[in-house]
Chain A
Amino acid sequence: DAKTTQPNSMESNEEEPVHLPCNHSTISGTDYIHWYRQLPSQGPEYVIHGLTSNVNNRMASLAIAEDRKSSTLILHRATLRDAAVYYCILRVPLRDDKIIFGKGTRLHILP
């Protein structure tokens, strides 16, 4: 499976946008980019996913580079509740059910 690389940790101020980067230089043409996050004392939760085009949902936006070798998860206005570990994951749909979690980025939100 292709690997992802994320910074170990990041800090952001409350109510400001946050850009969480992910590198996936060995991504294949069929890999989808998924993001999950894990809030303290909770199980991971799905955030967003995409293939080639930028994606928006109620939680976040996903910006995917034209060559697909990197992507950025954007939280438009971070709150204290967004403090979590964010995982960038590559998945091939319709193949298997595995999620292989990388180390993720621990996001700290400063009040």
Chain B
Amino acid sequence: GAGVSQSPSNKVTEKGKDVELRCDPISGHTALYWYRQRLGQGLEFLIYFQGNSAPDKSGLPSDRFSAERTGESVSTLTIQRTQQEDSAVYLCASSPDSFNEKLFFGSGTQLSVL
């Protein structure tokens, strides 16, 4: 696609439910990043994928968070047993490769946990 696409745009869920967020990167971009942005705060790194290499999961806050990416295509971020503190905007970004320092962002998913 022309840009990074994320879905859903907004998600409201009840505490304890699982949610799945989707990111479709720019075609041909091998690097993909997930960030979390809490209200009024900066971006917090979650996870990074580069091609078929093992992902860097060092930013995932707990084992309730996981992410997958098949090859150089779509990625899904899954949050199990959601908590109220998970409420945030989840932003996805892609880059032509890990050596390219410019990030191209999607519009994010606003997650609200009630």
Query: Do A and B make up one complex?
Result: no
Measured CB to CB, the residues of A under 8 A from B are: none
Q: Which residues of B contact A (CB under 8 A)?
A: none
